Each structure stands twice: as C-alpha cells, then as structure tokens.
Structure 1
C-alpha cells in the first residue's frame, strides 16, 4: 500500500523502501497536511454546507435515518452543547471546580454514542459528556465530578457507560481488557454480539497505555472500537508535533483496520461507528476510528488557548460547525422548519435552566461519603478507618459546643 499520505515501508513486492526508512520532503509535507486538513481518505456523508455525500460503503449504515431521526440527532447535539455551555459558565461563577468543554465535538460524540446498542460498553476519558447523554446518563450526574462532590454516581452497568477516567489513556487499556472478557464469555460472533467503544484524544495516542491496549486487542481479536477524537490540540501541542502520519494509519502497524471520518459530520460518525461495531460483534477484531474534528474552546477552564493558537484557525473551523450543517440539511430538504428549530432551542434552554438550578442547590456530601463505593462489599479495615475519622470530626463539634 502506498499513497501521497503514507511514507512507511511498502508491503513486500510493492516496490523499494524509502532510503534508510526516511520519508522524502514531499511525503513529510503530505503527511502533515493530511494531519491538519483531513486528507483524501476522510469519510464524509454531510458537508459543512449541509449537502449529502453518498457513499456505497457507508450509506447502508444510515439507511434508517429519515427526517425524523435526523431531527433527533440535531436535538441531541443542540441540547448537549447547551448543557456544556451552561456548565462552562457555572465554573466561571465558582459553582464548579473545573469544566472540560466539548464545544465543536458534538457530532463525534452523539454520532458514535447513538451507534451503540444497549449491551455495548463505553469507556470515556473526561470530555465525553455527549456520549454520556446518548447512553442515558443524567447530565446532572456529571456535575458532581467537576464540583468535587462525588466520583460519578450513575450505574455504569445499566447505562453501558463507565466512570470518567482522568489519567490520560488509561481507559483504553481497561476497555481492551473488558472487550477481551466479552470475547471469552462468547458474547461475539453474530448480529446480537456485544462490543466496546473507548474514547481518547489525539494527545493520548502518545501514551503507553493506549499502545498496550492496541497490542492486547489485536492479539486477542477483542471486540473494541478505539475512537480517537482528534481535536487537533493535546492541550497546547498540535497533532503534527506528535505524529508524522495521520493517526488512523497507526492501526496498520497493529494489524487491524483504521479509518478517518469527519468528526463534525454526525451522519458520518454514526455510519462509521456502526460499521466498526458490526466488525467487532462478528468477531473480526478491533477497529481504530479517527474522528477528525476541532476543539473550539479551551482544553479545560484552566487553559488559555489564545496563548498557543491563532484566531484565524478557529474562525476557519467555525465554518465547519457540526450543528449548523445538520440545520442547513434539514431546512434544505424540507425536513424541518423554523418552528422546529425554535422548539429545540426552547427545550435546550429549559435543559440548561434545570441544570443550573440543580447545581446551585446541590447539597454538600457528608464526610462519610469518601468511604462509600471504595469496595463493592464491606471491608473491616475501611470500616475501622471510617469510624476513627467520624469520631475525630465529632470531637471538633463537641469542643465547639463546650464553648
């Protein structure tokens, strides 16, 4: 295999290797351009202008997406963005300790999240608020993590959505192990099989846990979709400073397929993830998806992106907004009118108001909360520590009462 985007050594019989295993200047430039612009291998079903692009390979995976279903995807993205913006504002007002924005990545998260079936499992990092929403997790339950009042209170088995992972890339290794368990328990092999999706950013691809996850999944044909949201920036490091090649091409070195999809195209993300999950369900092993998108806001609310990226780059990506292209397609196709868009905006405002009311009135957890959910069952040592700690705190109350 060879292309203007690939400078790795060719397959046996396909021609000589590049001298000394080094790319030519032209190949390096082509690889970097593909890393920052999408490249010719970008899978796209809906353009930034809201025009439908047909794909013989992936159209069958969105054949059920009619006007009503597309309205639902639009509603998902609008509500998720509104919740994200409200949480961002509440952090600025001191109600949350920190917030991790997802602005600009709604299509990647909603599209891939809606592709999953109830029996599947998602392993997120810390930015997958949209995936959580599609898996039925109450958005309000995310706030406790960033308010530092709990570790995430949802039932991850019920929702098929694991707790957030703060350690960069660690969830990829966990997901590979979980998917291996799905295979060992015979839950793959047909249309009713189960699969796992794990989410990580472009920066995480430089972490050892990610590569170990790739190795284990490849060796055991684990039914796991590695979903990389390439938002172009690992905090302040651009993707081209981490990889000479587009990230999806790394899958080839591990022996499983990799594909790049327009991460701002909700139809494309839905179709490609459905395809990848089907591959996994039928026992064909792991798949790497690189959702090519852009982080429109800061890495977190402690970050200032104006210190390391240019405003014209941000303005360029605003023209590729994932929500606006669906809105344009709905309007152009006659699937929605202004009344529909106004109703969705009103619903999103109500969602944000409820979120805000909940956050401002969220009770502080009792001190004993730190001992809850440490172990699945009772533990004598932990019980003793709880008793000693609560007794220690009670001593302060008694002293204050004495005065």
Structure 2
C-alpha cells in the first residue's frame, strides 16, 4: 500500500483527512498557505449541525426566488456579473432543487451529520479542548405568527429522521434564553446539535494533535499539482512536495488546481461575512440562535457574540459587500442587547457544488488523487466523517457512510 500522502488544505476537512490517514499508518504532510483553521473553517457559527440535512437548494427555494432577486432580502445577495459569467452553474443549481431529488440528498446529508457531535467530542477530548464544546443545542426563531406552523412542520420533519426537537412559544423561548428580547413568538430547540466557542481554535487544536502524533505541517502557497510517475507533486513558493497520494481539500480554491489537470468539478463558492459584538453587561446566551426572518446566526464566541450573514453569490475575489452583514447586525440588536463591534468584519467563502453535496472520492482518470471538498455550510460539522470516508476508501475498508452520493464522477467525466 502507498504510505506517503500530501493533504492540500488545512481547514477542518483537510486536517480531518490528515488525522484519519495518520491513524492508519500513513506518513502525512499537511500543506496550506495559512496556519490551520484560518480560512473558511475560521468564519462560521461554530455549530455542530446534526440537523442540517436539508440542502440549500431544496424545493422550498422556488417560492422564495422572487423575493431574493431584488437583492433586498438579507438571506441572499446575487451579483449579476457572477450569474452572467457562470449561467450554466446557476441553472444547474436551480435544476438540482427539483422535488424528485430531495429525498436522496436529504438521506445523503443525514448520513454525514448523524455522528457529527460524537466524532467531534472524541477529537476534542484527544486534542485537549473539550472545554470549547457546548452540548446545549441550537435555537431557531421566527418573528411572525406564522412561525408556529413553520416550527411545527420542521419539528415533524426532523422527527421523521430520528432527530429530536421541541417547539417553543414566546414564554418558552424567554424561559430558555431570558436575555433575548420578546420579539419571537415561535422557536424550535434542537438539543442534538452542539457548538464550540471558537471554530478556528478547534481546527488548530486538531492540527496540533496531528503534529504531536508525528505529522508534518507546512505553510506554503500551493501553485500547481501534477502527476509525477506513480505519485503526485505539489509545487509551492517554498519548494516541491512529493508523495504517493494527494488529497485535495482546499475548499473554494480546489478548482484552481483541478483546472490545469483538465478536471472541471463544477465547484463554485458562496461568500459570507461575520462580525463580533460585545453584549451589554449581564446579557448572555447559552447556545447559538438563528433568526429565520433576519437570516443570521448569533453565536456566543470567545471573541464576543458572532453575527453571521446570509449567502453572498458574488465572484469569489470580488470586493466586500457589507449590505447583508449590516442588516444582520441591525436585526441582532433588535433581538439581543449588544454594544460595540469588536475587531474587523470577516469575509470568507464556502465551497459549493450544484447539488449541495460534497465531493468525496478518487478523481476520475487520475489515480492517487483524492477529492474532499464542497461541504458547503457544514464543512466544520462534517470534516471528521469526510476524513474517515476518504481514509477508509483508500485502505479498502467499509466507509462509515455510503460514498456513492458524493462520488466525483457525478460531475467530473
């Protein structure tokens, strides 16, 4: 068996792949231009999302499209330059939301999220960061009276998939989170979700665990990836790295290395923003909350209360557009007593494929090149199982989840 591996990308998915392969006796080098956990894995709500089993482009997207197109809704910003640059991708994204596809994709996501909390709990214990884990669930909130029906429908849906939740009225929400202002008549508590107080620090701790166990971490700008004999080599600004196998886990930058190989993965990106605010004295939340109408997460973090924005469908490297995060900040202030902004507003990218499922498996026509990207909004949650799927497939073991729905061949020919 080939025993030398380079993993390109030190976010949660890449670090998890490195740990899973290291556990099986491989010699692993982890490469990234930045320190582990400092790109996409840094800028999320820190939720370990057992309940995130509905793809973003589900059948419920269609009735909302008209309200999104004017770029006034906080949930979505669409830069029409991007739509015109890649119209085929956007059309495929919408086509994949047809009802006939929903059940299979929900089942696929369910297989990835089912063990999320347990896998992270084990890794945090091994990395010595169990104190960062909160097993207090997440709270979803609605501002309108129609939220009662929406909360009940989601409760019923989750119950059908074996996920417990509890519908709350205004009084129930106040009893659970007294510091929230009483503007939400309906809520849904999902106890099986968990969260952390610094996703970047957790990813860095997993990478430190990998290094303690003998793994090699190199910070270098990756310029090219190409086949070399029976193996693979990555050219960086600090030299050449060679190995028998390569794992590409660079999230939204993965396509940049695949294109010169003649591989089009149909990968695109969703941009997102967050900022931290300081709470007023005595105000606190016990768990992340999601304001459905405001389209933001508010999560207690080490740095303050993190407010996240909706999806920004702009070109990956376009200048910042703070419309959504400004709207989210204003809405969050309506819901919770917040004071000054702490630090700078952060922007990052989520890797997105047209069917909202990740790409996990060996690249067609390129033996020894394994792909692990496209986990969209749940990469922090599903990194550990993604690493286990990749490692088990390489070693000929039975994967912990059926890899067929995530096969690269569904887009790469």
Query: Quick check: which one's helix share is greater?
Result: 1
Structure 1 or 2, whichever has the larger Rg, is: 1
**Relative contact order (C-alpha < 8 Å, sep 6+): which is higher?**
2
TM-score (norm 2): 0.25
TM-score (norm 1): 0.26
